[in-house]
Amino acid sequence: MVNLSTESSSKKRYNVYYLTKKSVREITENTYLITFEENISFLPGQFCMIDVDGAGLTRKPFTLGKISHTELAISVKIAGKGSEYIVKTNEKLNVLAPLGNSFVPKSSNGTVIVAPSCLAEGIHLSEYFDIPLFVASKTELNEDIKHDFQINVALGNDGYLKLLKELNDSDFDWIFVSGSKIMEELAVKNMPKKVVYVSLNEYMACGIGACKGCAVETSPGIKHVCTDGPVFRGDEIWQIQR
């Protein structure tokens, strides 16, 4: 299963939305959950590109999420001026969406692990497929966030590796992982018994397949995160010994 989408990329239309922030909550240090007044139509796994009003030369990509099946949300880790603008501005955000393919697993017997920077996507997948949500974080999550979204936290490197070991021996058919490259690679290599899906976050410029900048090497050859992904099977990205 190379392409996880049921859609044809040639028929895609991308819309620009002007979104009003409803709430900005701190998930953990430097990382925020932003919800919006407006809604947009998208499917699990898809992402958006947000204009940073001159605080960078490219729109910045974020996985899309929904809370309680209704409230549009993204999570943002402040990593530079662009992401800082997105968190701090009170202006409407200019958002190009929905981008990429939807994630369509073969069964609903899976689970999802995200970094705090992908929490919105994690909450969405957890609610959409009615599956448990794990957050792997270097620092403790704020109590109200943990409580509100019934999050299981794997804290630090040891906590994360312990979680991966447990999930590798679990009955889940698949594990969806969205976070840093290192986090995703660890998941793929430490859960050889499972089908691991990873949502890749290669540097992007256009987000729509024009520039060919977000190339990744996969076992079938070069793919592009924005049009072939962003979700890939982990064993297409990293070799594992089963």
- For 56-87, b/e burial (b = at least 16 CB within 10 A) is eebbbbbbbbbbeeebbbbbbbbeeebbbbbb
Question: Which lies closer to another protein via its Cβ, residue 87 or residue 215?
Answer: 215
Q: Which of residues 113-152 bind another protein (CB under 8 A)?
A: none
Question: Which lies closer to another protein via its Cβ, residue 84 or residue 127?
Answer: 84
Site stretch for another protein (CB under 8 A), options 109-117, 139-147, 170-178, 206-214: 206-214
Determine which residue in the list 6, 54, 158, 171 makes contact with another protein, applying CB under 8 A.
54
* Distance (Å, whole) CA 47 – CA 201: 10
- How many residues contact another protein, by CB under 8 A? 33
11 CB-contact burial (10 Å; exposed 0-12 / middle 13-18 / buried 19+): exposed
Determine which residue in the list 93, 188, 214, 231 makes contact with another protein, applying CB under 8 A.
214
CB neighbourhood size of 13 (10 A): 5
CA dihedral (60, 65, 71, 76) positive or negative: negative
Site map (CB under 8 A) of another protein, residues 71-110, x = contact: ----------x------------x-x--------------
C-beta of 39: minimal distance to another protein in Å? 17
Determine which residue in the list 1, 2, 7, 14 makes contact with another protein, applying CB under 8 A.
14
* Distance (Å, whole) CA 42 – CA 123: 15
C-beta of 82: minimal distance to another protein in Å? 9
User: Do 127 and 68 form a contact (C-beta atoms < 8 A)?
Assistant: yes
Determine which residue in the list 7, 16, 144, 166 makes contact with another protein, applying CB under 8 A.
16
* Distance (Å, whole) CA 178 – CA 188: 12
Tell me the three-class secondary structure of 137-191, residue by residue: ECCCCCHHHHHHHCCEEEEHHHHHHHHHHHHHCCCCCEEEEECCHHHHHHHHHHC
C-beta of 53: minimal distance to another protein in Å? 9
* Distance (Å, whole) CA 13 – CA 98: 8
C-beta of 132: minimal distance to another protein in Å? 31
C-beta of 223: minimal distance to another protein in Å? 10
Nearest to 66 by CA among 95, 83, 82, 46: 46
Site map (CB under 8 A) of another protein, residues 26-45, x = contact: --------------------
The answer to whether 210 contacts another protein (rule: CB under 8 A) is yes
C-beta of 93: minimal distance to another protein in Å? 12
> Where along the sequence are the contacts to another protein (CB under 8 A)?
10, 12-16, 51, 54, 56-59, 81, 94, 96, 181, 202-206, 208-217, 221-222
